[in-house]
Amino acid sequence: NAGVTQTPKFQVLKTGQSMTLQCAQDMNHNSMYWYRQDPGMGLRLIYYSASEGTTDKGEVPNGYNVSRLNKREFSLRLESAAPSQTSVYFCASSEQHLFYNEQFFGPGTRLTVL
């Protein structure tokens, strides 16, 4: 099992460009999450999908969109990238969207917006 995989690992964008971050899990989990990690701020939830067919906003959703493509895949799209979106992005999954369920994290995507 690969667990949670993310592509790409690194990306540099110019302001205004768009891109999609891909995430896939092979653990048959129902719930998936996108976080961003910034120095001194821990992890902040951008969007999540409690189950296939549903998505909801997290703490910092502005400037992002998500798609739960199927049970395995959850993508994050930046329509018009801004320097404030320079960050490390983590995808995670859990069996159910319940606060006591362990979340499993991917290796992250390091995004720089110039």
Partner 1 sequence: AQSVTQPDIHITVSEGASLELRCNYSYGATPYLFWYVQSPGQGLQLLLKYFSGDTLVQGIKGFEAEFKRSQSSFNLRKPSVHWSDAAEYFCAVGSNTDKLIFGTGTRLQVFP
CB of 23 to partner 1, least distance (A): 11
Closer residue to partner 1 (CB): 17 or 61: 61
58 binds partner 1 (CB under 8 A): yes
Q: Which of 34, 47, 48, 74 binds partner 1 (CB under 8 A)?
A: 48
Q: E strands of 14-63, at which residues?
A: 19-25, 31-37, 43-49, 56-57
Q: How far is the CB of 95 from partner 1 (least distance, A)?
A: 12
Specify the stretch interacting with partner 1 by CB under 8 A; choose among 21-29, 69-77, 78-86, 102-110: 102-110
76 forms part of the interface with partner 1 (CB under 8 A):
no
Q: What binding mask, one character per residue, do residues 28-47 give for partner 1 by CB under 8 A, x or -? A: ------------xxxxxx--
- Three-class secondary structure of residue 110 per DSSP: strand
Strand-pair category, 74-78 with 104-105: unpaired
- % helix / strand / coil in the chain, to the nearest 5? 5, 50, 45
Q: Using an 8 Å Cβ cutoff, are 94 and 103 in contact?
A: yes
